[in-house]
Amino acid sequence: MTTTDAQGGAGVRIGPVEWVIPIVGAPMAGGPTTPELVAAVSNAGGLGTLAAGYLTAEQLEPLLVEVGELTDRPFGVNLFLPGTDVGEQLSDEIAEYRTRLQIDADTLGTEVGNPRFFDEDIDAKLAVLARYRPAFVSTTFADPGRELVDRIRAEVSAQVFVTVTSPGEAAAAVASGADALIAQGVEAGGHRGIWHDVPDHPHGGPGMSTAGLVRKITKATEVPVIAAGGVGVADDVRELLDAGATAVAVGTALLCADEAGTSETYRNAVWSWEYRGTVVTRAFSGRPARALANRFATMNVDAPAAYPHVHYMTKPIRTAAAAAGNTQTLNLWAGDGWDAVQKGSAAQIIANLTGRATD
């Protein structure tokens, strides 16, 4: 269904969640997403998403307070769904990777972090979300299942948007009761949301283009689809809407926004002439993720499929690299639209992506 905003543009609606411009600010855990960015996207007429991945419930709460102070518009919160702990099963591979990482740790004057599992504090996070009532909760990395979907609806009163990377995952998400599907194509920056990471497959499993995935899913279901992956310019947004998406999620395009928390080192790398492309790699976290093809990403492309153990092992290395301005050892998550990244306010970037004038 469409509505009309003050500027006469077409609006967007998914269930009770209504916003103005068919753009969703993708969650970007680990720094780039800030309360300011979430609010700026929503205040610009898009739909902002707060990233709750890696955070404890206690760390999440003040961020929700801040977003609430900065906008009255709807926004959502993204949860990482923990898989199973593969730490013991892959202990040999993890130990071997630790030895390899020691060289980078030594070079940067730091230590390799301790490999560990994190259950993402889901129950405690839901209790916090129940108090702040975001318009939607999005999930990634697994099938939430009917039980969790029903709990989010009942306890948080939020719509549930489920990230999928294939038609099979989309069908399962619909069966679990998803209110919307976030169709993440292989061009997307950051982690692939793939539900089962196949260790022998460099991308964790076959990947479809964002447009192809949207076309395939929208043929089979009436559940609204948000396209995610590879957007750089307005033509990309138009292509995905034409393919049948209700809205388009952008992550990389907002990396250099004024309101983003992206580090200076990361911003400089995305902006520089140094890199020529992206690669899907498990090097930084143990899960396939698309990043600028720097030395660390390409050299360690065969890192063990041990998420989040590898994430915690590389954390001190990544922190030291960012502080030292060393872009070759940093996780520079970026999608295939990275070459068109813009600087400026989130509102201006969104306006450029949708061909709308800003005030």
- Which residues form the interface with ligand FMN (CB under 6 A)? 26-29, 32, 51, 53, 78, 140, 163, 184, 187-191, 193, 228-231, 249-253, 333, 335, 337
Which CB, 253 or 317, lies closer to ligand FMN? Answer: 253
Least distance CB 247 / ligand FMN (angstroms): 12
Least separation in angstroms between CB 253 and ligand FMN: 6
For residue 182, the minimal CB distance to ligand FMN (Å) is 7
Query: Do residues 144 and 159 touch, judged by C-beta distance below 8 A?
Result: no
The least distance separating ligand FMN from the CB of residue 26, rounded to whole angstroms, comes to 3
For residue 338, the minimal CB distance to ligand FMN (Å) is 7
Q: Which is nearer to ligand FMN, 93 or 188 (CB)?
A: 188
- 111 vs 258, which CB is nearer to ligand FMN? 258
Closest distance of CB 101 from ligand FMN, Å: 21
Nearer to ligand FMN among residue 256 and residue 303 (C-beta): 256
Nearer residue to ligand FMN within complex by CB, 106 or 242: 242
- CB-nearer residue toward ligand FMN: 26 or 313: 26
